[in-house]
Structure 1
Amino acid sequence: MSTPRLLRVGWHREHFLSPLLQLVAEDAGKSLQLVECPGGTGDMQVKLKNGEIDVCIALTDALIAGLANGKTDYKLVGRYISSSLRWAITTGKDSKYTEVDQLKGTTFGISRLGSGSQVMASVLSLQQGWGPDEQPKFQVNGQFKPLRDSVNAGDTSVFLWEWFTTKPYVDSGEVRFIGSVYTPWPCWSIAAAPAANKEAVKTFLSKLQPHVIDFDSEASRAGPAIDFVEKTFGQQRTDVEEWLKTVKWEHRLAEVSEAVVRKTLGVLQEAGVVPKEGQQWDMATFVDTDVAKIVESADQIN
C-alpha cells in the first residue's frame, strides 16, 4: 500500500506564519511538508503554477490580482489575517531619497511581477495621487537581499516589504525607512491548487485553526507568542510586542468574505492593477467552494 503524499505548504519566512510553524512541528512530517518561498507571494504563485506546492498562505491582494488577471493555477480556500499589513517604504542607507513625494516616476524594486511588492507600489501611487507620467517603473530583483542590495547600489529608488521583517536591517544601518503604506484589506489569505487533494486541504485548515486561535489568545499574547517569534525569527522583543498590537488572526479559516474580495478588486482596479472596465466578477473565479464557504460579511481591518 502506497504512502499518501504529503501536502506541500508554501510559506515565506515571516512572523505572521508562526501558527503554521507550530502546526508543522506538531505534525512532525506525517501529513505536511513545508516548502519555503523566499520570493514571497510571487514565488508561491510560480510554485503553484509549476506544481511544486499544493497550498500556501500568501498576500490577499496579490492572490486576488492574479486571479482577476487570468491565473488559473490556484483559488482561494480560506482567510488567515483580518488586519491590514504595514508595508515599509525602504531606500538605501546613502540614497538621495528622503520623502515619498520624491519617488514619482522612479524605479521601484519588486520581488516578482504580480507580487505584493508591485501591487502595493501601485496602491501607493494611487493614494499619493501620482499622474500618468509619474507612475513607478519596476525592476524585478527576486528575493529580499537582492532588493536591499539594489537600493544601496542605486539601481532602484525604494522597495516595499513588511515593516517588522525589514526593521532589523534598518536598525543595523543597512537600509533606511522613508515611510509606510497600509493595505486597505485583510492582508493574508490561503490558496490552493485545483489539483490539490481537497480533503487534505480541508484537514489542513481544520488543524491549523486551533493553532491560530491559541496564538491569537490573550494568554498567548502575554508571553508565549512573543517568546516564539523572538526565538524563531530573531526579532527584538519590543518589536514583537509592537507588532502583536497591530495584528488579528481569523478564527474561521475555511471561509472567504465576498465583501473583502470585491472591495479589494475595487481598489486594485483604481490602482490599475486589474482591468477597470467591463468586468462582472464571478466569485467562482476566486474561490474553491469545494473547500471554502463564501460569506457575505466583510472582515474588520484593525
Structure 2
Amino acid sequence: MVLRIGYVREHFSSPLLQFAADDAGETFTLVECPSGTGQLISRLTNDEIDVAIALTDPLISGIAKGSEAYKLVGSYVSTPLNWAVITGKNTKYERIEDLNGTTIGISRLGSGSQTMAYVMALQQGWPTDNLLFKVNNDIRGLIDSVNDGSTSAFMWEWFTTKPYQDAGEVRFIGSVPTPWPSWMIAAHPTRAPAQALSTFLQQLSGYVRVFDSKEKREKDDVEFIREKFGYREEDIKAWLATVGYPPDCATIDTKVIEDTLTVLEKAGFIKSPGDGFKVEQFVNPDVARLV
C-alpha cells in the first residue's frame, strides 16, 4: 500500500521532504495541506489522506471532542512552536493586550490558530467562553483580513510569516510559544495498516536523526531550507537554534498528552468526561509506544 501523507509545506517538514525525494513515491505520496492542521484533520476524516503530520494541540483536542478519524501514531518535533501574534500594517493594535474582545482570524475551526488563541487568552486572563473568530482558510486570507479590518490579528508560526513582516504586509505585536512539543503524527485507525505505518516511521526517524545532527545543522540544513523555502540565512540559523526532533518518531511521551489536555481544558476549549481522559484512547498501540 502507498500511504497518503498529509503535511504542511514549512521548514519543519524538511526531513520529510528529503525522505520523499529518496522514496520517489514507492511507499508514500505527499499531499500538501496549505491551510494547516484543520485541513489535515478534515482530509483524514474525508478519506483524502491516511496519515497527517500536524500540530499537537488540534490533533489531541479533536480526539478529545470525539473524532474517530485518527489516532496518534508518533511524534515529529520535540520542541515548542513559537506562534507570532500578527496584525495589519496600519492597525491600531500595538500589544497583545489590545486584542481583548476583538475578532481573531483563524484558518479553520479546530486549527492550531484557534487553539492557540485560547492559550493566549488563558495567559492574558481573558474569559475564554466568548472569544470571537473569523475563518479565513489560509495565510493569504488571514493577511487580507487583518489589513481590511475584518479581524484584529491572527496567529501563525513565527518564521513562516516573518517574510510577510519583512515585506511590510503585516506587523508582529508579540508571540506565544506552545506549552507542548509542537508536531505529532496521526493516522486513520483502519485505512493505514500498522506494518506500513511502522516501516514509514522507522525510515522517517532515520532522516530526522540525520537532519537533527550537529554536522548537518551547520551547513547542509541551512542550504536545504534556503533552497526550498527562500528564507534568509540568519532566520534559518535562528530557527535551527530552537528546534529539536525526536530520535524515534514512533514514540509518544505520555506527559505530552496529559499536559496538553490539561491546558486545553483550562482554556475552555475541551471538556473532560466525568471519569476523565485516558491517555490510551488517543494512541494506536499497534504502532506507537507510549513512554
TM-score using structure 2 length: 0.97
Is residue 2:62 matched to residue 1:62?
A: no
Map 1:166-245 to 2 at 5 A.
166-195=161-190, 196-245=192-241
Moved over 3 A (4+): none
Q: CA deviation at 1:279?
A: 4.4
Partner of 1:248: 244
Q: Does 1:107 align with 2:100?
A: no
2:49 aligned partner: 53
Q: RMSD of the alignment, in Å?
A: 1.1
Between the aligned partners of 1:131 and 1:108, the Cα distance in structure 2 is 14
Change in 2 beyond 3 A, CA 1:190/1:158: same
In structure 1, C-alpha distance between the alignment counterparts of 2:36 and 2:128, rounded to whole Å: 28
Contact in 1 for aligned 2:202/2:248 (Cα 8 Å): no
Deviation at 1:255, TM superposition (A): 1.1
TM-superposed CA distance for 1:16, in Å, is 0.4
- Shift of the 279–187 alpha-carbon distance from structure 1 to 2, 3 Å rule, reads farther
3-state SS of 1:13 partner: coil
Per the TM alignment, residue 90 of structure 1 is displaced from its structure 2 partner at its CA by 0.3
What amino acid is aligned across from residue 221 of structure 1 in structure 2? R
Q: 1:132 to 1:209 in 2, by over 3 A?
A: closer
Counterpart of 2:10? Answer: 14
Aligned to 1:161: 156
Contact 1:270 1:276 in 2 (8 A): no
Q: CA deviation at 1:136?
A: 2.8
Unaligned runs of at least 5 residues, structure 1: 296-302
The TM-score, its normalising length taken from structure 1, stands at 0.94
Asked whether the equivalents of residues 121 and 128 of structure 2 are also in contact (C-alpha less than 8 Å), the reply is no
Identity %, equivalent residues? 52
User: Could you tell me which amino acid in structure 2 is paired with residue 198 of structure 1?
Assistant: A
Look up the SS of the partner of 1:126 in the other structure. helix
Whole-angstrom distance in 2 between the partners of 1:270 and 1:281:
14
Residues 279 and 99 from structure 1, CA distance in 2 versus in 1: closer, same or farther, beyond 3 angstroms? farther
Q: Secondary structure at the match of 1:165?
A: helix
**Equivalences, count:** 290
Where does residue 138 of structure 2 map in the other structure?
143
- Report the AA paired with residue 138 of structure 1: F
Is this contact kept in 1: 2:128–2:268, CA < 8 A?
no
- Rounded Cα–Cα distance in structure 2 between residues aligned with 1:248 and 1:190: 15
1:35 to 15, 31, 34: 31
The separation in 2 between residues aligned to 1:84 and 1:132, in whole angstroms, is 22
In the TM superposition, residue 278 of structure 1 has moved relative to its aligned partner by 2.4
Given that residues 213 and 251 in structure 1 are in contact (C-alpha distance below 8 angstroms), is that contact kept between their aligned partners in structure 2? Answer: yes
State the distance in 1 between where 2:231 and 2:55 align: 21
Cα displacement (A) at 1:256:
1.2
- CA distance change for structure 1 residues 40 and 244 in 2, over 3 Å: closer, same or farther? same
